Amino acid sequence: MFETAELGRKISKDEYRKVEPELRTELIMLQQQLREADFPVLVLFSGVDGAGKGATVNLLNEWMDPRWMETRAYGELSDEERDRPPFWRYWRDLPPRGTVGLFLSAWYSRPLLERVYGTIDDGAFHDRLDQILDFEKLLADDGALILKFWMHLGRKAQHHRLKVLENDPLQSWRVTPTDWEHYEKYDSFVEVAEHLIMRTSQPFAPWKIVEGEDARYRSLTVASIIRDAIRRRMGERRAGADVGLAADLDEGMMADALKSARRRTVLDGLDMSKSVSADDYDDRLPEAQARLNTLYRATRDSKRSMVLVFEGWDAAGKGGVIRRMTAAMDARNYQVIPIAAPTDEEHARNYLWRFWRHLGRAGRVTIYDRSWYGRVLVERVEAFATEAEWRRAYTEINDFERQLTGAGIIICKFWMHITAEEQLARFERRKETPFKAWKLTDEDWRNREKWAEYEQAVHEMVERTSTVIAPWHLIEANSKKYARLKAIDIVCDTLEARLEN
C-alpha cells in the first residue's frame, strides 16, 4: 500500500513559488463561500512521525482565515473526559456547519498505538475501528465533508528526517524520545496502519495517502485536495460517490508541477535494465526449481494451499514464468486457470463467483493467468465496469483475499512489467514467427494506445491492494530470464516465510 508513497516525489522551489499564491487565494475565497454552506469540513491528519502533520496544519492556519477554522489536537485524557464515554471529547469539538476543523492526534491515534504496542488484540482493534466508522458515518450522513490524510515516510526517510530535525537547533524540540521509540516499531506501525486504512477508507470518509518527504510536494498536495474536495461538494452534493484514495484531484485544475509529480507511478521506480546472462540463467534455473519443488512438497504435505496470481502487459511473459514454475510441481496437484471472457453461468453471477468456484482443496496450487484484478485493470480502462463498480472492487478484493489467507492459503501476486518499446519489439517478432502469430490480436495493438491509463490503474491497484498478507510483486520483465528467476525466488521466499507460521 505504501509503496506508492515512497517514490521520491518533489516540487522545486521555483515551481512552488509559481503555484502557491493562486492556491492560497482560492482556498481563502472558498472558505468565504463555505460560511454560507450547510455542512462542516473535518480534516484529519495521521501518519508517520516526521512526515509533516504538524507543519501542514501550521501552514493551513497561515494560509486560511482562522476565524472560520479551528485546530484541535489531543493528548492525555482530562479528568472531565475520563468521566465520560471516549467520544465525548470529539463531540465537544465538532465544528459547526460552514467552518473547517483540523484534527491532529484525534480518534485514530489511540487504537493505532495500542495495537502497535500490543495492549489490544485484533478483535478489540476492529471494534474500535468500527466505532470510528459509526461516528464518521453519522457525521457524513448529516452532510459533513470528511478528509483524512495519512502522511507517509519510508523507513529510511523517517530515520533521515528525524536526524535532520534533531540537528537543527530551531527544530530539534520537535523530536521527542517517543518519536524514536515509535521509529523502533516502524514495521509493525506500518502494518497496523495498512490494516487501519483499508478498513476505514470509506466513500464517506476516504483516506488520502500523501508522500511526506518533500515539504513543498506534500503542502501543495494536501492543500489542493482540500480545495478540490470543498469545491466539488459546493458544486454538487453527490451522495455516495466513492472518492477513493488516489483519484481525488481534478486534473484539469491541477498545477502542472503537481500534475507531473503525481503522474509518477510505482512502475516508474523499476530498473528495467535488469537482466541475467544466459549462462547464469542455465545454472540458476535448475537450482531455483529444485528449491521450489522442496518447498512445494512441504506446503502440500502440510495441507496448505497456494494461490498464484499473474497480471501484466500483453507479451510480458506470464505463460513462460508459469511453465517454469509448474515444471517443479506435480500435475495432479496444481491447476492453471486461464481467465478469458466469462461463461453464461459465470455472467449470471457476481464477478468473483468464477474465482471462488475454482479454488482448490487444501494442499493444492491454483494458478490464475489473469484474475479478479481484471475488474480494476481492463474493466476499468475499457469502461466495462462503471466507476462505482471498479472503485468498490478494491475493498471486495481485499476482503476476498483476507478470506483466503484466513483459511491458511498462501497468496503470491505478480505484475509482469515490460516497457512499451520492449512490447513493440515482441509484437513485431510474434508477427514474424509463424507459431506465435496467433497470439497477436488487433486488441493487443489497441491496448497499447491506453498505456498511460493502464499505468495509472496499476498504480492505484498496488496502492489499494498490496497488503502485508498478500503483497504485489512487481517484476522487471524486459529480460524474460531475469523475470523467471525473480518470480520463482519470490514464491520460494514466500513459502518459506509462511510455512514457519
Query: In this chain, which of 187, 287, 330, 399 binds a copy of itself, going by CB under 8 A?
Result: 399
Residue 97 or 231: the one with the smaller Cβ distance to a copy of itself is 97
| 142 near a copy of itself, rule: CB under 8 A | yes
The Cα 395–Cα 465 span in angstroms is 8
Residue 4 or 305: the one with the smaller Cβ distance to a copy of itself is 305
Rg over alpha carbons for the chain, rounded to the nearest Å, is 25
Query: In this chain, which of 63, 68, 74, 88 binds a copy of itself, going by CB under 8 A?
Result: 88
Name the minimum Å distance from CB 400 to a copy of itself: 9
Query: In this chain, which of 156, 163, 238, 357 binds a copy of itself, going by CB under 8 A?
Result: 357
Give Cα separations from 480 to 139, 278, 326 (angstroms): 52, 11, 17
Show the binding pattern over residues 12-31: x = contacts a copy of itself (CB under 8 A), - = does not: --------------------
**Coil, helix or strand at residue 268:** helix
* Contacts of 444 by beta carbon, 8 Å cutoff, 6+ apart: 314, 315, 427
Instruction: Give Cα 222 to chain centroid, integer Å.
Output: 17
Residue 142 or 187: the one with the smaller Cβ distance to a copy of itself is 142
- By CB under 8 A, the residues from 336 to 355 that bind a copy of itself are 345, 348-353
The three cell numbers locating residue 361: 482443496
The three cell numbers locating residue 98: 460552514
Residue 87 or 180: the one with the smaller Cβ distance to a copy of itself is 87
Query: In this chain, which of 98, 203, 342, 471 binds a copy of itself, going by CB under 8 A?
Result: 98
Site stretch for a copy of itself (CB under 8 A), options 166-174, 315-323, 395-403, 460-468: 395-403
Site stretch for a copy of itself (CB under 8 A), options 88-96, 252-260, 369-377, 467-475: 88-96
Residue 72 or 274: the one with the smaller Cβ distance to a copy of itself is 72
| 359 near a copy of itself, rule: CB under 8 A | yes
**Coil, helix or strand at residue 501:** coil
Residue 29 or 407: the one with the smaller Cβ distance to a copy of itself is 407
| 387 near a copy of itself, rule: CB under 8 A | no
HEC sequence for 351-378: CCHHHHHCCCCCCCEEEEECCHHHHHCH
Q: Is the dihedral of CA 21, 23, 28, 33 positive or negative?
A: positive
Site stretch for a copy of itself (CB under 8 A), options 61-69, 96-104, 148-156, 320-328: 96-104
How many other CB atoms sit within 10 Å of the CB of residue 298?
13
| 36 near a copy of itself, rule: CB under 8 A | no
Which residues are registered as beta bridge partners of 100?
Answer: 41, 69
| 434 near a copy of itself, rule: CB under 8 A | no
Name the minimum Å distance from CB 132 to a copy of itself: 11
Query: In this chain, which of 253, 298, 327, 407 binds a copy of itself, going by CB under 8 A?
Result: 407
Name the minimum Å distance from CB 69 to a copy of itself: 15
The Cα 25–Cα 19 span in angstroms is 11
Residue 272 or 469: the one with the smaller Cβ distance to a copy of itself is 469
Residue 406 or 434: the one with the smaller Cβ distance to a copy of itself is 406
Name the minimum Å distance from CB 305 to a copy of itself: 8
DSSP 479: S
Could you tell me if 224 and 165 are in contact, meaning their C-beta atoms sit under 8 angstroms apart?
A: no
Instruction: Give Cα 347 to chain centroid, integer Å.
Output: 29
Owner of C-alpha cell 519443488: 293
Please give the helix or strand (H or E) that residue 336 lies within, else none.
Answer: strand 334-338
Residue 214 dihedral angles phi and psi, to the nearest 5°: -100, 120
Name the minimum Å distance from CB 339 to a copy of itself: 17
Which residues are registered as beta bridge partners of 43?
Answer: 102, 147
Show the binding pattern over residues 255-294: x = contacts a copy of itself (CB under 8 A), - = does not: ----------------------------------------
The three cell numbers locating residue 458: 496499476
The Cα 359–Cα 306 span in angstroms is 10
Residue 371 or 423: the one with the smaller Cβ distance to a copy of itself is 371
Q: Which of 73, 132, 82 is nearest to 103 (CA)?
A: 73
Query: In this chain, which of 28, 29, 35, 91 binds a copy of itself, going by CB under 8 A?
Result: 91
**Coil, helix or strand at residue 327:** coil
Counts for the chain of helices (H) and strands (E), in that order:
21, 10
| 356 near a copy of itself, rule: CB under 8 A | yes
Please give the helix or strand (H or E) that residue 71 lies within, else none.
Answer: strand 69-73
Q: Which positions lie near a copy of itself, rule CB under 8 A?
A: 40, 80, 83-88, 91-92, 94, 96-98, 121, 123-124, 126-127, 130-131, 134, 138-139, 141-142, 144, 239-240, 305, 345, 348-353, 356-357, 359, 361-362, 389, 392, 395-396, 399, 403-404, 406-407, 409
